[in-house]
Structure 1
Amino acid sequence: MTTFISTKFLGVLDYITSIVIAASPWLFHYDLSLSAAILFIPVFLGCMQLLMTIFSNYEFGMIKVFPMPAHLFLDGFVGFMLLISPFLYGFAHAVFLPQVILGLILLSMSIFTKDSVLEED
């Protein structure tokens, strides 16, 4: 499989997507009165994504302890969870498009990013 996203570009995307995911209930005006999951899931996953980004071993990681392959695996897992959460927790009738799009973005980032900071083209 062709990996065309560099770890430098991934670093920028990681910070942007994690903040957007955590703020998505307010950015996209979710109806928070329907379920606690509508608020909890994106805020929790966005904050965990931000922590993982800070602790990852790549150019934009601040505390380089988390290996890049594990980072990419968790990007994919968080993306998948975000993608299915509206359907799994029963709030797809209220809000699903922002979470599906953000989940697909994270999943794509995990699939198409180089495994290593040292990997050459």
Structure 2
Amino acid sequence: MNPFISRSFYGVINYVTALISMASPWLFGFAHVGGASLFLPITIGWVQLIMAIFSNNSHGFIKIFPMPTHNVLDAFSGFILAVSPFLYGFAFIENGVFLPHLLIGLTFLIAGVFTHGSPFVNEEAHQEVVGWDNH
């Protein structure tokens, strides 16, 4: 797989998507549904924002969190958010409740996988996350 997202653009995507994720229950009008549909995007958005602030990239402010680990956690949390409407059963409670979760989750997932230096597309970064060497 070839990475097509630069680290600089990734930093911007991360902040914007984290803020949209946190505000999504009110932006898209499903805050009244409650439960996992409300809790997950807010929680994952906060985690993403904290990781973005502490990430060791050009847009991180504190620069202590390794980017390969951030990429893996982005992909994992994006997957969880994308499947959550179907996993927790609120996908078809009301029209369109699942769509923000799916789109924001896929954004995190794609950004985590296809960013330059991601362990999913870079063997050296993969070994850094896994913590072992083939030598």
Per-residue displacement from partner, 1:31-88 (whole Å, max 9, x unpaired)? Answer: 52x3321211110010111000001100000111110100100110111011011111
Give the counterpart letter for 1:106 in structure 2.
F
- Answer whether contact 1:79 1:103 (CA < 8 A) is retained: yes
Partner of 2:90: 91
Gaps of 5+ in 1: none
The 2-side partners of 1:102 and 1:42 are apart by 9
Higher Cα radius of gyration: 2
Partner of 1:115: 117
Q: How does 1:18-37 map to 2 (within 5 A)?
A: 18-32=18-32, 34-37=33-36
- Answer whether contact 1:86 1:99 (CA < 8 A) is retained: yes
Partner of 1:73: 72
- Answer whether contact 1:5 1:114 (CA < 8 A) is retained: yes
Partner of 2:106: 104
- Answer whether contact 1:35 1:91 (CA < 8 A) is retained: no
The 2-side partners of 1:45 and 1:27 are apart by 16
- Answer whether contact 1:38 1:91 (CA < 8 A) is retained: yes
Confirm whether residue 57 of structure 1 aligns to residue 59 of structure 2. no
State the Cα distance separating 1:110 from its structure 2 match: 1.1
Q: Normalized against structure 1, the TM-score is what?
A: 0.90
DSSP-derived class of the 2:44 partner = helix
The 2-side partners of 1:50 and 1:78 are apart by 12
Gaps of 5+ in 2: 123-135
RMSD: 1.4
Q: Could you tell me the percent identity over the aligned residues?
A: 51
